[in-house]
Chains A and B, each alone.
Chain A
């Protein structure tokens, strides 16, 4: 229950990503037997190129990334220009998504909010996968006592319900006497997500490593006296990356959803940062009279998460020969 718990499908996330674990290594075997020059990856790529969901999700993600990098391409309105005369006005030709309580243009804010939301997802995923993979590969490769020590250590973090853990951490991190800038606020949220989510990545990496370790070529390498580092980097990593990659893709979407949820609870990102989550949390009290304040940023979150989950699904299916 460690990862974005009910926020974005705790155990489910792990289950759907881990499904690829043993298939991926099976696949390796088969491709070697067939002696085809095509590797696992080029095989998967060929499969992916023909998948409409893959293409659709890539396009959506590309647009979102573009929005994050150059929001001004999409809007010329300053997201901080408030006009109280227009407070809570519904969508119209002037402002496609209407105005919020402060009279900010919701559309402009949604465009400018993309960056923070995406950054949180990206960095939280990177950190989660990095910590989780390192510890997971060590646990999977190491002797039993270290394995159980690390596994128990992971269990400690996995035992904390995600939302509760994040609330406690975020409240704790905020030494109240300071007024944190944008970078610091984002870092805090990224850290708290990663700290609570890495055990999932670790478990996936660990089981992938356990499977890969039993492969003949790994035993052979060990027999030839290759150093553990070489075995890990040369032989284990390339064969364990697939399930982690699938997890990372889905997790990225999930973490963007988590950011919105934390903001909804009033403890995630907060002004001066503009993000979809911040917009959602600002809409909470006004949802009934001005639903557009909630629905538009929530729509962006949903579409983004959808794109990443679809991408993850497609990649997993491509890496899994059985589904063909």
Chain B
């Protein structure tokens, strides 16, 4: 197990370097002048450009630039934006908001998705089963921003006035429930379908039949044997999904005007704040890689059949 973890960690390094370099190159080695439009209606002052280029190492070859950037990152320095504000500081104010929303989304999709999946999996083909199938299909087909806009409009004061759909700049947990639901809605459909098919499959497995034959009560068969094994793929999915929820939060944040990292990175790209973009993407990549490692390890814990040498 220890050796496996070590090997996986080593494998992460080239992937991490590759992804971050790819983004770095895309952001900085672009044909567009990073200073265009930075100074209003006038072109920037040459002296200003010279100084900023020096500060951002823009005169070095790309690879050297990248490693200088990485070097700073290792000691925790995310760099500063054009206005001299620390990127680390900006990320640290926005990150918790997005993380909060991501976790809410994860909880919602897990709870609703698994319940729907288990209920329909146990009673295959009935009204409930069809209802869940159709509604998951619909959720999968609906673009996230449409769900967001429609819910925001029709639940809010201008629609049926059921709740306050606006999100303040320092959102509370309650304010983030609706955006979290929207963010998690798509994955919720997948969780439901995944749980359902997994349960259906495992219901016919030998160990379930054995358990029933041994005369164990229904609740124990379902709770201990069936659920535990059926939820393994679901948990894998949820684990990798946290990463994509954080990366995909940009759309939901746009719909609800939430001041999270999605907005930060979107503005970063629009305003050519390369330092900001690379910083956040690096962070997201790190989360994604670590989550996928965690999921692999969870496999071993949950499924006794899997052993890592």
Is B one of A's binding partners?
Answer: yes
Point out residues on A near B: beta carbons under 8 Å.
1, 5-12, 15-16, 19, 152-153, 155-157, 159-165, 167-169, 171-172, 175-176, 253, 257, 260-261, 264-265, 280, 287-288, 291, 294-295, 298, 301-303, 305-306, 309-310, 313, 322
**Contact A161 B281, beta carbon cutoff 8 Å:** yes
Query: Among B194, B245, B254, which residue has its beta carbon within 8 angstroms of that of A265?
Result: B254
Given contacts A156-B22, A163-B248, A163-B251, contact A1 B146 (CB under 8 A): no
Assess whether B304 is interfacial by the CB under 8 Å rule: no
Query: Among B140, B240, B250, which residue has its beta carbon within 8 angstroms of that of A305?
Result: B140
Q: Taking the nearest CB of chain A, how far is it from the CB of B241, in angstroms?
A: 6
* Sample of 14 A–B contacts (CB below 8 Å): A1-B288, A6-B247, A7-B143, A11-B241, A12-B237, A16-B193, A161-B243, A164-B281, A168-B269, A172-B32, A288-B158, A291-B153, A294-B146, A305-B141
Q: Taking the nearest CB of chain B, how far is it from the CB of A164, in angstroms?
A: 6
Q: Taking the nearest CB of chain B, how far is it from the CB of A177, in angstroms?
A: 8
**Chain A residue at minimal CB-CB distance from B242:** A1
A8 proximity list for chain B (CB < 8 A): 140, 143, 186
How large, as a class, is the contact surface on chain B? Answer: 35 or more
Q: In whole angstroms, how far apart are the Cα atoms of A163 and B15 in the complex? A: 19
Q: Taking the nearest CB of chain B, how far is it from the CB of A166, in angstroms?
A: 10
Q: Taking the nearest CB of chain B, how far is it from the CB of A181, in angstroms?
A: 18
Given contacts A10-B241, A162-B247, A302-B143, contact A167 B158 (CB under 8 A): no
Give me 6 other A-B pairs in contact (C-beta within 8 A), A6-B249, A19-B197, A161-B247 excluded. A8-B186, A9-B140, A156-B22, A159-B19, A169-B26, A291-B153
**Contact A159 B15, beta carbon cutoff 8 Å:** yes
Assess whether B298 is interfacial by the CB under 8 Å rule: no
Q: Mark B76-107, 1 if CB is under 8 A from A, else 0.
A: 00000000000000000000000000000000
Listed from nearest, the 3 A-B pairs whose CB atoms lie closest are A161-B247, A6-B248, A12-B190
**Contact B22 A5, beta carbon cutoff 8 Å:** no
B140 proximity list for chain A (CB < 8 A): 8-9, 12, 305-306, 309
Query: Among A11, A261, A310, which residue has its beta carbon within 8 angstroms of that of B244?
Result: A11
Q: Taking the nearest CB of chain A, how far is it from the CB of B159, in angstroms?
A: 10
Query: Among A15, A172, A265, A294, which residue has its beta carbon within 8 angstroms of that of B26?
Result: A172
Of B22, B140, B186, B277, chain A has the most CB atoms within 10 Å of the CB of B140
Q: In whole angstroms, how far apart are the Cα atoms of A155 and B289 in the complex? A: 9
Given contacts A167-B266, A167-B269, A265-B251, contact A288 B244 (CB under 8 A): no
**Contact A161 B284, beta carbon cutoff 8 Å:** yes
Q: Taking the nearest CB of chain B, how far is it from the CB of A69, in angstroms?
A: 23
**Chain A residue at minimal CB-CB distance from B182:** A6
Query: Among B15, B138, B265, which residue has its beta carbon within 8 angstroms of that of A164?
Result: B265
A288 proximity list for chain B (CB < 8 A): 153, 158
Q: Taking the nearest CB of chain B, how far is it from the CB of A86, in angstroms?
A: 23
Within 8 A of A (CB), among B35-66: 36
Assess whether B120 is interfacial by the CB under 8 Å rule: no
**Contact A260 B143, beta carbon cutoff 8 Å:** yes
**Contact B146 A298, beta carbon cutoff 8 Å:** yes
Within 8 A of A (CB), among B16-42: 16, 18-19, 22-23, 26-27, 30-32, 36
**Contact B251 A15, beta carbon cutoff 8 Å:** no
**Chain B residue at minimal CB-CB distance from A19:** B197
A298 proximity list for chain B (CB < 8 A): 143, 146
**Contact A257 B141, beta carbon cutoff 8 Å:** yes
**Contact B137 A161, beta carbon cutoff 8 Å:** no
Q: In whole angstroms, how far apart are the Cα atoms of A51 and B11 in the complex? A: 45
**Contact A302 B141, beta carbon cutoff 8 Å:** yes
**Contact B153 A265, beta carbon cutoff 8 Å:** no
Query: Among B149, B245, B277, B280, which residue has its beta carbon within 8 angstroms of that of A287?
Result: B149
A171 proximity list for chain B (CB < 8 A): 30, 32, 269-270
B288 proximity list for chain A (CB < 8 A): 1, 159, 161
Assess whether B167 is interfacial by the CB under 8 Å rule: no
Q: Taking the nearest CB of chain B, how far is it from the CB of A40, in angstroms?
A: 20
Within 8 A of A (CB), among B217-270: 233, 237, 240-241, 243-252, 254, 265-266, 269-270
**Contact A306 B144, beta carbon cutoff 8 Å:** no
Assess whether B201 is interfacial by the CB under 8 Å rule: yes
Q: In whole angstroms, how far apart are the Cα atoms of A305 and B193 in the complex? A: 17
**Contact B247 A164, beta carbon cutoff 8 Å:** yes
Assess whether B145 is interfacial by the CB under 8 Å rule: yes
**Chain B residue at minimal CB-CB distance from A258:** B143
**Chain A residue at minimal CB-CB distance from B241:** A11
A253 proximity list for chain B (CB < 8 A): 141
Q: In whole angstroms, how far apart are the Cα atoms of A152 and B245 in the complex? A: 22
Q: Taking the nearest CB of chain B, how far is it from the CB of A280, in angstroms?
A: 8
A11 proximity list for chain B (CB < 8 A): 190, 237, 240-241, 244
Q: In whole angstroms, how far apart are the Cα atoms of A305 and B27 in the complex? A: 32
**Contact A301 B244, beta carbon cutoff 8 Å:** no
Q: In whole angstroms, how far apart are the Cα atoms of A177 and B141 in the complex? A: 37
Given contacts A6-B245, A257-B141, A306-B137, contact A12 B187 (CB under 8 A): yes
**Contact A309 B190, beta carbon cutoff 8 Å:** no
Q: In whole angstroms, how far apart are the Cα atoms of A5 and B102 in the complex? A: 13
A264 proximity list for chain B (CB < 8 A): 143, 145, 251, 254
Query: Among A156, A261, A291, A322, which residue has its beta carbon within 8 angstroms of that of B18?
Result: A156
**Chain B residue at minimal CB-CB distance from A160:** B19
Q: In whole angstroms, how far apart are the Cα atoms of A169 and B22 in the complex? A: 10
Q: In whole angstroms, how far apart are the Cα atoms of A231 and B50 in the complex? A: 59
B187 proximity list for chain A (CB < 8 A): 6, 9, 12
Q: In whole angstroms, how far apart are the Cα atoms of A280 and B254 in the complex? A: 14
Q: In whole angstroms, how far apart are the Cα atoms of A8 and B280 in the complex? A: 22
Assess whether B183 is interfacial by the CB under 8 Å rule: yes
